[in-house]
Amino acid sequence: MANESNDVYKTRGQWAGHLGFILAATGSAIGLGNIWKFPYITGVYGGGAFVIVYLACVLLVGLPLMMAELMIGRRAQCNPVGAFQKLHRKGSLWQLTGWLGVVSGFLILSYYSVVAGWSMAYIFKALSGFSGSAEQIVGQFDILQNSAGTSFLWHSFFMLLCIGIVIGGIQKGIERWSRILMPSLFLILLALMFYGLFATDGGTAALSFLFKPDFSKLSAEGVLSALGHAFFTLSLGMGAMITYGSYMKKDRSILKDAITVSFLDTLIALMAGIAIFALVFQYGTEPNAGPGLIFATLPVLFAETGPWISVPFFILLSFAALTSGISLLEVVVSYFIDQRNWKRSTATLVLGGAIWFFGMLSAVAVWKVPVNILGENQGFFAFFDVLTTNYMLPLGGLLTCLFIAWRMKDKDRIGEFGSSGKLYSVLKFVLRFITPIALLMVLLHGLELLPFMDYGP
Ligand code: PFF
């Protein structure tokens, strides 16, 4: 296998440095999901108990699935569509899983970049300082969301950055920028966390909110959200890790690297939680503000702390979004490079451009989905978010898991895992039985079909 894969490596991009894969994959995993979504859903579902369930989900669902995707990618040396063809057979229906991933990447990036654009817009708002009454500051977010032109402009800028990085390729684009952005992100977050812990009066309250479990606050809905979030935050279910795994060197241990990436992703989410909730409790605000926690609630608090805290915060958010955005684009681009023999530059420009254009639907908040599929008068933004997070990703994850556990050859699996010992048997068991059941539950919950849940009339 070693010689065989070395031949493939000659023609295929590969992470260069020792840390190349780790930085790029944590870059993909750490994103708006960690800094925007994790704190707000933790707030909504009551804190500590939710965090414990979330950690269990990362361990039981996220980590095994991440290993599965990396094993598929590195074995096949291919984009998600090609990977399922290569490891099963050409024309195999399993390639639909790969297709689902490519389409999910396209759709997610089209709205992800709108939120990323808001993060960048807020760097400048923070620079000029948040001022006025709380209503006025909160109102700024409504204005931004509803001003189609500004949202679209920032979305365009973000897409331009993603295209500029991905066009540079694996080493000179994605890896090089991850090397700069990830350590910067970590240092900024570390500083903000220390500020929250030691320079505000909210540090202790934040720690006990996040780490003291009160199981009476935990609902079945909370458990399922923790499960769903565990694999969104690790960039699973849409082939991103298949793609990044395909550029991984043969001598890296998939077990160790997957543990490192999952650990760092969780660490960053918790650090962001501490930094944010310390501020929230310092000013006696409620932690359950929902999606507006970052763009509406925090700026009101930032008016007190000043730009020294708010500017780094939104830079952090933008960096996190950027390293995830490039991985979403890379999934789509790699399909056209591998399967259609396009040049990287052509694939990046055409597909990046198409996503940018399509993203207009999400950037223009007043445009609504013409049919009421997911409730009343849904905007495209919410529609694509729900469609991908609740349906497409869990389905992609479930199929990937079923494929590796029941269809992929033992020889291929062991070849990538590196041994056939006890740990391998545990992984195989979890991928065969535990992870698919958990993912099936997320999917059924998304479809409002779980018998023990109350979905209302
Ligand atoms: N993991 C990213 C986040 O937490 O924001 C989101 C994401 C990126 C999902 C890339 C899927 C993906 F392929």
Q: For residues 310 and 56, is the Cβ–Cβ distance under 8 A?
A: no
| Buried/exposed 42-74: b ≥16 CB within 10 Å, e otherwise | bbbbbbbbbbebbeebbebbbbbbbbbbbbbbb
**Residue minimizing CA distance to atom 12 of ligand 1:** 235
By most ligand atoms within 8 Å of CB, the mutation choice from 324, 326, 328 for ligand 1 is 324
What tokens does 4 get?
A: 């065989």
* Model confidence band, residue 375 (pLDDT cutoffs 50, 70, 90): low
**Residue minimizing CA distance to atom 7 of ligand 1:** 235
At 199-230, the pLDDT tens digits run 999 999 999 999 999 899 888 889 988 988 99
What confidence score (pLDDT) does residue 210 get? 95
The CA 321 to ligand 1 mean position distance, Å, reads 9
Percent of the chain residues topping a pLDDT of 70: 95
The CA 296 to ligand 1 mean position distance, Å, reads 23
At 126-155, the pLDDT tens digits run 999 998 888 999 999 989 888 888 999 999
By most ligand atoms within 8 Å of CB, the mutation choice from 103, 111, 327 for ligand 1 is 327
d(CA 335, CA 73): 13
The CA 135 to ligand 1 mean position distance, Å, reads 32
* Model confidence band, residue 457 (pLDDT cutoffs 50, 70, 90): low
**Residue minimizing CA distance to atom 9 of ligand 1:** 235
At 276-327, the pLDDT tens digits run 999 999 988 888 877 788 998 899 999 999 999 999 999 999 999 999 999 9
The full set of domain ranges for the chain reads 7-446
Q: Which of 269, 295, 276 is nearest to 203 (CA)?
A: 276
* Model confidence band, residue 350 (pLDDT cutoffs 50, 70, 90): very high
The answer, as to whether pTM is greater than 0.85, is: yes
d(CA 151, CA 316): 19
Mean pLDDT of 162-177: 96
Q: Would you call 373 exposed, middle or buried from its count of C-beta atoms within 10 A (0-12, 13-18, 19+)?
A: exposed
Pocket (CB within 6 angstroms of ligand 1): 28-29, 31-34, 108, 232-233, 235, 238, 240, 324, 327-328
At 4-50, the pLDDT tens digits run 444 444 457 899 987 899 999 999 999 999 998 999 899 989 899 99
What confidence score (pLDDT) does residue 4 get? 42
Atom of ligand 1 nearest to the CA of 32: 5
What is the fold, at CATH topology level, of the domain defined by 7-446?
Hydantoin permease (1.10.4160)
Residue 245 above 80 pLDDT?
yes
